[in-house]
Structure 1
Amino acid sequence: MALTDTFVRKVKFSGASAGDKHTDGQGMHLLVNAVGKYWRLNYRFAGKQKTLALGVYPAVSLAAARKRRGEARELLAAGIDPVQAKQEAMRARATAQSNTFEAVARQWLTKSAARRAASTQKKVQGWLSHDVFPRIGKIPIADIGPRDVLETVRIIENRGAIDSAHRVKQICGQIFRFAVAAGLVGHDITADLKGALSAKPKSHYSSITNPSELGPLLRAIEGYTGHPYCCAALRLAPLLFVRPGELRSAEWSEIDLDGAQWRIPSHKMKMRVEHIVPLSTQAVNILRDLAQISGKGKFVFPSIRTPERCMSENTLNAALRSMGYSREVITAHGFRATARTILDEVMQERIDLIEHQLAHAVKDPNGRAYNRTAHLPARHQMMQRWGDYLETLRRGAEIIPFSANNLN
């Protein structure tokens, strides 16, 4: 006869060595022993007698045990071993619990670090540690839904950091795609969040593109009396128009003064491709003078606090501010737009050479990317013309001195 709730609740262990078995039908029974009451299902699979544990009473009631029995019999009808299915489900749960979002994110950070500059890696780690891990870091990545990510990035958005919110959503998407490749999730759930955040405000690095305004700036830079490292970097910034991070992290081992060339290794470049910067005579002269001060160390522009690190990322912009140039007028990054505009519109240099020198992707007539040495002699000539042009602008009037202290 089938069991009843009252019987299951009141039945006691008789003391039998093997325990007491009370049958409910269809292979299920209640095993009662000195420890407790256990639901069991006996069945045959592939010619072998097997037993499936259905749970412990009272955590699993009679009705719940019967439901589990029905689910197991459905598996048997489909040719699936319930014990094996249960073991696989347990392994899957264990895997999910060990693959939390934070655990997967840290794996991604390590494996993808080579594709990012050190400063970017630090920034990404900061976003994850401060804004993401406290909210969803401990959740198995397979259990995270689009809403979880959206609520996380909206906290960033609500404090006014709209651009950062978009960047964090993008980072979460990269982590989910990494998890897809590892077989931990089925798809990148952040794809469902398109349009969920406020639009990013359009912003551009402020720059001076009028030669009549550039001349006074060059003279102000020439008369700047800050630290020698900062002075040299300021003078080189418009001459070389590389990204500020590339400039301040320059190492002497990358620079060939006799060959008038600077090879920036791929891991420092935004596009992860080695970049060659031809050096005009003006740039070489600045670097030769600087070599007398920092030439025995690793960095061309070391921090004044420790030679083990390069100049800080705020140094050049702080110097420009001290000279009276606001961020709305010029930034260190803005020298790239300065060169791009004047080389093209004023000096009428070839646009492909300019783009090469900006380290932008340039393709040949067949649609293939040029290699790093493409048109190098022509770029050397262009950079020398650029150096001569800036020197002409700088000599337009007397030098106006500016001073600043303790910039690093």
Structure 2
Amino acid sequence: MPKVIRKLTDLEIRSAKPGETKQDGKGLALVVDVNGNKRWVLRYTRPDGRRNMIGLGSYPEVSATAARIEATEVRTRLRRGIDPVEYRKSEKLEQQTAIRGTFRAIAEEWYSHKAKGWAKETARKAREILDDSLLPKLARKPVADISSADVKPILLEIHERAPMLAVKARQYCCQIISHAIQEGLREDGRELSLKGVLPKYKKSHYAAVTKSGDLPPVIKKIDGITSVHSRVALLVCLYTASRPGVVAGMRWCELNLDTREWHIPASRMKLPFEHITPLPSQLIPILKDLRVLAGESPFVFPGTSDPMNKHIHRDSLSKVLRENGLRGVIVTHGFRATLRTIARERLRIHPDVLEAQLSHAKKGDVQKAYDRTQFLDERHELIQRWADYIDALKNDKTVVQLFKKSV
């Protein structure tokens, strides 16, 4: 006859001594370690035939009755071919996912980790991609369940308006999912398969107007834009040739309308120091009018949904240009090429002054370290002459002083 193992009594459990193992039957046992701590273990045979053991908790936190119920549930899963250790891992993953496993939560963890090693401009761009392109569609999805098919249409949508941005968005998605796997919030090996989902993109120059004769229709289109914030933001791009992302984030605290200067902090530039951009007289009354509309918002061009914390997006400015008949003619970044080309050819502005206005980084380590010349006086003259030249074109005036002494 097989040996019958009697279930442990409460007295036997309480009196078990260090180093003892008391059998309760069907693989369940009470193990007492050398310090007298007692714990329940269940020995079992895996579905593949190998022997294994799983812990069911400590005594007295887990009573004998509770341990026997748990052991019965484990045996039931085994009969269905479910390994209790793998089941417990899966259950733990689900619990962790419920706590911090949404795409938003893990994306924020990933961003905080990566941003520590990024330049400020890189961190700013990554933040924009998250906030404007990925989180609106993926934020609430469990990171453990997101598939390549979930992400593909989002990337294609981004590609329609900004192909290079879509490449970055794809890169960030893959990194976020890898981070989730490393944190145990997604199964090993379940990386996203997004290679080849984006159409091939042949990088070319930004669409820009580089002939003065083509500029008047563009200026008139901008003047006809009904959104006051979009119109003024595009005028700032046109008059100053500043980067569209920097223009979109313009803050009132950066402006000195009396000296006609815009002091842009290094944190918002591709430079390690502050950049000063002169403003033409044409912009001053317009900006003063905007100041009245801004209310308490710190932004010159506040966002419509959250004006206290968000500004308009640079991509929205390119969208406005497209919607007003300028698709393929010019994009917001193209205004920089417009100034660089036409002001050099028609106004004979010195290249160094133009490069300083465009805030292009110096080439070579020595120049980067020592040459911080900003040509501020010369650029004040440049920007005013450029604005006057634009106004002359807009008003069909032909008398424009082209060959004034180079600045």
| Same structural fold, with TM-score higher than 0.5 when normalized by the shorter chain | yes
- The residue number in structure 2 matching 1:108 is 110
Deviations 1:149-203, CA, capped at 9 Å, x for gaps: 76664454577848465333321455479789x9989xxx999989655455236
- The residue number in structure 1 matching 2:75 is none
- The residue number in structure 2 matching 1:404 is none
Aligned-partner Cα distance in 1 for 2:304–2:40: 69
One-letter identity of the residue aligned with 1:18: E
Aligned-partner Cα distance in 2 for 1:384–1:248: 22
Distance 1:96 1:230, change over 3 A: closer
Distance 1:318 1:101, change over 3 A: closer
Q: Which of 144, 147, 160 is the aligned partner of 1:138?
A: 144
> Are the counterparts in 2 of residues 40 and 51 from structure 1 also a CA contact under 8 Å?
no
Aligned-residue offset at 1:392: 3.4
Identity value in percent: 27
Cα RMSD (Å): 5.4
> Are the counterparts in 1 of residues 24 and 30 from structure 2 also a CA contact under 8 Å?
no
> Are the counterparts in 2 of residues 352 and 362 from structure 1 also a CA contact under 8 Å?
no
1:18 aligns with 2:21: no
Instruction: Give the 5 Å matches for 1:191-210.
Output: 197-198=197-198, 200-202=200-202, 205-210=206-211
One-letter identity of the residue aligned with 2:6: F
SS in 2 for 1:170: helix
Aligned-residue offset at 1:339: 1.8
> Are the counterparts in 1 of residues 106 and 176 from structure 2 also a CA contact under 8 Å?
yes
- The residue number in structure 2 matching 1:256 is 256
- The residue number in structure 2 matching 1:38 is 28
1:124 aligns with 2:165: no
- The residue number in structure 2 matching 1:84 is none
Aligned-residue offset at 1:214: 0.5
Structure 1: state its 5+ residue gaps: 1-5, 20-26, 70-89, 140-147, 399-408
Deviations 1:16-75, CA, capped at 9 Å, x for gaps: 6537xxxxxxx9977126xx63257899xxxx699997941557699644x669xxxxxx
> Are the counterparts in 1 of residues 278 and 380 from structure 2 also a CA contact under 8 Å?
yes
Instruction: Give the 5 Å matches for 1:1-400.
Output: 7=2, 11-13=4-6, 17-18=11-12, 31-32=23-24, 37-38=27-28, 55-58=41-44, 64-65=50-51, 98=96, 100=101, 102=103, 103-109=105-111, 112=115, 121=127, 123-125=129-131, 127-128=134-135, 130-131=137-138, 134=141, 137-138=143-144, 153-154=151-152, 156=154, 161=159, 163=163, 166-172=167-173, 175=176, 197-198=197-198, 200-202=200-202, 205-222=206-223, 224=224, 226=226, 229-269=229-269, 274-284=274-284, 286-288=286-288, 298-301=298-301, 308=308, 316=317, 320=321, 325-363=325-363, 366-368=366-368, 374-396=374-396
**How many pairs are equivalent?**
341
Which structure is higher in RCO with an 8 Å CA cutoff and minimum separation 6?
1
- The residue number in structure 2 matching 1:406 is none
Deviations 1:280-322, CA, capped at 9 Å, x for gaps: 3333454456557669974434578997565676775576467
Aligned-partner Cα distance in 2 for 1:128–1:305: 16
Deviations 1:205-260, CA, capped at 9 Å, x for gaps: 432221101033334545x3846555544433311122334334433322112222
Aligned-residue offset at 1:268: 4.3
Distance 1:273 1:101, change over 3 A: farther
Structure 2: state its 5+ residue gaps: 14-18, 55-87, 399-407
SS in 2 for 1:374: coil
Aligned-residue offset at 1:364: 5.8
> Are the counterparts in 2 of residues 252 and 300 from structure 1 also a CA contact under 8 Å?
yes
